[in-house]
Amino acid sequence: MITWLSIPSILHVARSRHLYDDVGHFRKQHDHGIPRLGGVAIFVSFTITTLLFSIIDKALPVSYLLIACIILFTMGLKDDLSGVNSSTKFFIQFIVAAILVLLGDIRITSMCGVFGIFQLPFIPSAIFSILLIMLIINSFNLIDGIDGLAATTGIIVNLSFAILFMYIKQYELAAVGLAMTGAVIGFLRYNITPAKIFMGDTGALLIGLVSAVMAIKFIGVSRLTGSHLPTITFAPALTTAILIGPIFDTLRVFILRIFSGKSPFEADRNHTHHRILGLGLNHLQTTLCLSFINLLSIAIVFIFSSLSNSFLIILIFSMSLMANWIITFCLRSKERENIALRNFFA
């Protein structure tokens, strides 16, 4: 409700001050200026709701989470208004991740037997956790390229974790996941095609940060045992399935850019959502298609939960590779058809 009620005022201020998206950039999908300050409403809504409804216990250091959110919000807002160079972005993200890992002790302490790895010593655990947080933060920023995609993915991810936390009786963590889910639902009302506002880096980075914290905490607390605490033995695989959309797309474009001799941080139009748009689908259809794949991945992990985490993770990434191959095949078929048509009329 806070997000939903705040955005009309943000739209008014953005239009009166001409705070529009850069429509001239080659990656933009719109031909008219649209404000990109929706992340402000998401941040305010999430912060207020978290402070109001968080259960005070040791499951999550809310103070460190909110400090990290405020730092990332400040950097994201500056980027949305005037721009921030990539090195500064990554430095701030590193600081935020270090605060969560080193001060908040939000880190992966065990791989739960994935690929034969169990308990992690502190230094490898801290390094891996910082890199993982930075990866997830950036992955949400990178998928924010069409109407509704980052918001819908953020809802699926945080609502999934919230439901799972409620199942294993971790109610404070569930409250944080629900706070982010509600904040993004209020924003989606104005971001679904045709979009009236974008979340900008402010919103995308914040959703990525909270999603990363939810993922790490879920892997950790799902292993807690007790007579009144349900356990989820396939938590690493389930976490992978929940986050597979943004993570697979980010890893894919980074690898392709490196093999092409380009910087992995150089912007292009080779993201999965750009490729699906190239098949002729619109923004809403593309968002629904990618959301379906995300939900299907989660369902498959539940269906085959008796299998090992390692096998399930390989299965999820194999599914993503297969979906990517199908998109590539369809794009090449369409390109051949277009060439044949041009030759025919020539």
Reported as a pLDDT band with limits 50, 70 and 90, residue 343 is confident
What pLDDT, on the 0 to 100 scale, is given for residue 346?
A: 72
pLDDT reported for residue 56: 61
In this prediction, residues 179-207 reach a mean pLDDT of 95
Residue 266: which pLDDT band, with cuts at 50, 70 and 90? confident
pLDDT at 338: 86
The amino acid sitting at 338 is N
pLDDT of residue 345: 82
Tally of CB atoms within 10 A around 52: 9
Say whether pLDDT at 82 is over 60: yes
Per-residue model confidence (pLDDT) at position 205: 96
Residue 55's pLDDT is 65
d(CA 249, CA 37): 24
| 146 within 8 A of 283, measured Cβ to Cβ | yes
CA dist 229 and 76 (Å) reads: 38
Q: What is the pLDDT of residue 22?
A: 55
As a whole number of angstroms, the distance between CA 182 and CA 203 comes to 13
Give the pLDDT of residue 227. 54
Q: Look up residue 234 and give its two tokens.
A: 């396939």
Q: Which single residue is written with the structure tokens 């649209």?
A: 34
Structure tokens at 299: 């369902």
Q: How high is the pLDDT of residue 86?
A: 87
For residues 35 and 169, give the distance between their C-alpha atoms in angstroms, rounded to a whole number. Answer: 40
User: Which residues in 10-168 belong to E strands, given as ranges?
Assistant: 110-114, 117-119
Sign of CA dihedral 156, 160, 163, 169: negative
Mean pLDDT of all residues in 68-90: 93
Reported confidence tier of residue 32, pLDDT bands at 50, 70, 90: low
Q: Is the pLDDT of residue 27 over 60?
A: no
Greatest alpha-carbon span in the chain: 75
Answer whether residue 26 shows pLDDT above 50.
no
Q: What is the DSSP string of 119-147?
A: E--HHHHHHHHHHHHHHHHHHHHHHTTST
Q: What does R_g of the chain's alpha carbons equal in angstroms?
A: 20
pLDDT for residue 3 is more than 90: yes
Angle at alpha carbon of residue 268, lines to 79 and 326, rounded to 5°: 130
Q: What's the mean per-residue pLDDT of the chain? A: 91
The per-residue pLDDT for 24 is 45
125 CB-contact burial (10 Å; exposed 0-12 / middle 13-18 / buried 19+):
middle
Q: Is the dihedral of CA 176, 180, 181, 185 positive or negative?
A: positive
- Average pLDDT value for residue range 192-206: 93
**pLDDT band at 31; cut points 50, 70, 90:** very low
Transcribe 250-309 into DSSP letters: HHHHHHHHHHTTS-TT---S-SHHHHHHTTT--HHHHHHHHHHHHHHHHHHHHHTTTS-H
pLDDT confidence bin for 194, thresholds 50/70/90 = confident
Distances (CA, A) of 167 to 35, 53, 158, 198: 39, 18, 14, 33
DSSP single-letter state for residue 25 = S
The DSSP call for residue 192 is S
Please tell me the distance from the alpha carbon of residue 114 to that of residue 302, in angstroms, as a whole number. 17
Report pLDDT for 6.
Answer: 95
Give the per-residue pLDDT at 59.
73
DSSP category for residue 106:
-
289 has pLDDT over 80: yes
Nearest residue to 153 (alpha-carbon basis) of 108, 185, 189, 129: 185
The DSSP call for residue 195 is: P
Q: Which of 247, 176, 250 is nearest to 218 (CA)?
A: 176
When pLDDT is cut at 50, 70 and 90, the band that residue 58 belongs to is low
Which helix (H) or strand (E) covers residue 149, if one does?
helix 149-167
Q: Which amino acid is at 272?
A: T
pLDDT at 261: 86
